[in-house]
Amino acid sequence: MADALQRYRLQPVRSSREWAAYHAIRRDAIFASLLPNQVYDEHDPDEFAPGHFPHLPLRDGEVLGTVRIDLIGKSAAALRLIGIRPDVQRQGHGHALLKLAEEAARARGKAEIVINAHPSSLDFYLANGYRGGEWADRGPIPSGLVRVGKRLPRQNIAQIGGVRGAGSGTVLKPSQTP
Ligand SMILES: CC(C)(COP(=O)(O)OP(=O)(O)OC[C@H]1O[C@@H](n2cnc3c(N)ncnc32)[C@H](O)[C@@H]1OP(=O)(O)O)[C@@H](O)C(=O)NCCC(=O)NCCS
């Protein structure tokens, strides 16, 4: 799997084209199927808040999904609105996304990850080492979601140090509005 991960990287959302892809994937993968009664707001201030970093996971340059990494307090990061394009789900891309996002958080000195998961994806997070518990986040658990978290092992970076996008130079730079 380490070799397979070499093909992936996590890229901050910058250009108007990247923002369009980010919003389209979230609409298709998350809002249309899981949150049909919620209106997706491209201009949600949370997207542009300090310490919030919208990202696209890519494999061989192809955009596959979305994740926003929010830095929380001293030691935690939250992964928000994780989604993989519906046409390429269940091919291991979600696993790669988590690995890269965890690595990016670890590179920022974070020791734990929190995710407010839709119940339909809970098994995916459990399969990736996430567990229920008292995980730090900014607010209460959003209605209908389940909070899971994971302590990042100290050796996390060394273990997957070859993954592109891991370095501080390519991830967690401030995003730009479209
Ligand atoms: C959940 C999601 C991010 C997983 O990404 P993915 O690329 O499909 O997942 P992977 O291929 O890396 O891993 C799939 C494995 O996770 C586990 N899994 C369990 N429930 C799952 C689910 N609802 N969806 C995907 N995988 C699930 C299985 O072990 C699965 O392996 P299998 O396909 O051999 O059965 C993606 O399917 C997605 O975007 N779903 C719609 C939006 C969503 O649920 N987002 C999360 C909201 S918190």
Q: Answer whether residue 26 is part of any domain.
A: yes
Structural domains counted in the chain: 1
Per-residue pLDDT for 167 more than 90?
A: no
Looking at residue 1, its pLDDT comes to 62
> What is the domain range of residue 143?
2-159
| Minimum-distance ligand 1 atom for the alpha carbon of 89 | 8
Candidate from 34, 62, 89 with most ligand 1 atoms within 8 A of CB, to mutate: 89
Residue 48: alpha-carbon gap to chain centroid: 15
**Mean pLDDT to the nearest integer, 42-49:** 96
Mean pLDDT of the chain: 88
Q: Answer whether residue 33 is part of any domain.
A: yes
Q: Answer whether residue 165 is part of any domain.
A: no
pLDDT tens column, 58-70: 999 999 999 999 9
Contacts of 125 (CB under 8 A, 6+ apart): 115, 117, 148
Q: Answer whether residue 168 is part of any domain.
A: no
Exposed, middle or buried: residue 61 (CB in 10 Å: 0-12, 13-18, 19+)?
Answer: exposed
- Higher-confidence position of 158 and 139: 139
Q: Answer whether residue 90 is part of any domain.
A: yes
Domain with 139 in it: what CATH number? 3.40.630.30
Q: Answer whether residue 71 is part of any domain.
A: yes
- How confident is residue 156, by pLDDT bands cut at 50, 70 and 90? very low
Q: Which residues line ligand 1 (CB under 6 A)?
A: 29-30, 34, 82-84, 89-95, 117-118, 120-121, 123-124, 127
In terms of residues, how long is the chain?
A: 178
Distance between Cα 127 and ligand 1 center (Å): 9
Q: Answer whether residue 136 is part of any domain.
A: yes
